[in-house]
Structure 1
C-alpha cells in the first residue's frame, strides 16, 4: 500500500511538472535585466522595438563607449558598420547575429561577439525570446556607426546569406 501511494505521488508530481514546463515553454520568457531598459531606439535604425541605455559615455580618456540594448522578440538592428569594430556581450535571451555574406548565427546569454572594423553586420532578438546585449565601441575617435538598410524578413529568418 505504501509503495502504491509513493508511486501515485511520484506520478502526479511528474505529470504536474511536465504540464507546467510545456505550458511555460510557449510563453515569452521574461529576461533578467542587469541595467535599466533605457529609451526606445530610433525606428529608422531598427525593426521592432529596441531600447538603448548608455552606460559609459564617450570621453577623451578611454575613447570607448559602452551601452546596453534590449531587443523585444523579433526586433533587430539595420545593417551597419563600425569604423573601429564592436564587441557584443549577450547578457540574456536568445538572438541572431550576421556578418554580410555569412550564415546567420544564433547567439545567447554568455556569448561574446566581435564585429571587425568596417564589416557589414546586424544583430537582434529571436522571434519568440527577447535579447539583452552590452555593446562596446572602442577607439571612438575613428567614428561610431554607419547605419544602412533594413534587414529583410528573409535575411532575418536566415534564408539569405
Structure 2
C-alpha cells in the first residue's frame, strides 16, 4: 500500500480546451494499474475539444451543469449526481453550461495492449454547436 501526495492543480492545455479549465489528478497509479481519475473544473462556457478514448470514458458530475455532445449532434445536459458513459472510440466533447461552473470526475483506462493512443484529440467544437446545445 502506498499513499501518494497529490500533484498540484494543472491548467487545462489550450490545445484540448476552449475556456478556463483546471485539472486535479486524483488517481494515476503506476502499471499494472490502468484506471485514471481526474477532477476537472470548467469555468462557465468552457469545454473540451472533440476527443475519443480507446477504452471509453465515464464522467460523473459533482457540481454545476455539464454538457456532453457526440458527432451525430446529440447533446445532453447532466446535473450533479448524474453519470454518463462514452463507449470506446466514440467522438465526444464535454464542458460547462454557459452560466455556471461545472466539476466532473473523469474516469478512463489507459494501456492494456490497445492500439493507438489512450486519448485521441481533434478539432475545436464550433460555437454554433456549443451554443445550440442548450436550445
* Same fold (TM > 0.5): yes
Aligned to 1:69: 40
After TM superposition, give the deviation of residue 76 of structure 1 in Å: 0.2
- After superposition, what is the alpha-carbon deviation per residue over 1:10-35, rounded to whole angstroms, capped at 9, x for unaligned? xxxxxxxxxxxxxxxxxxxxxxxxx9
Contact map agreement 2:19 2:46 (CA 8 A) in 1: yes
SS in 1 for 2:32: coil
Q: How do 1:10-159 residues align onto structure 2 when only pairs under 5 Å count?
A: 38-141=9-112, 142=114, 143-158=117-132
Give distance in 2, aligned partners of 1:120 and 1:150.
Answer: 12
Flag as ranges the 4+ runs of structure 1 deviating above 4 A.
Answer: none
- The structure with the largest alpha-carbon Rg is 1
| Bigger proportion of residues as helix | 1
Between the two proteins, the alignment pairs up a number of residues equal to 125
Structure 1 unaligned blocks of 5 or more: 1-34
Relative to the length of structure 1, the TM-score reads 0.72
- After superposition, what is the alpha-carbon deviation per residue over 1:91-144, rounded to whole angstroms, capped at 9, x for unaligned? 111120011104211111111010100010000000000110001112533342
Give distance in 1, aligned partners of 2:29 and 2:69.
Answer: 26
Give distance in 1, aligned partners of 2:8 and 2:126.
Answer: 26
Relative to the length of structure 2, the TM-score reads 0.85
**Cα RMSD (Å):** 1.9
After TM superposition, give the deviation of residue 59 of structure 1 in Å: 2.3
Give distance in 1, aligned partners of 2:10 and 2:68.
Answer: 22
| Bigger proportion of residues as strand | 2
Which has the bigger relative contact order, CA under 8 A and spacing at least 6? Answer: 2
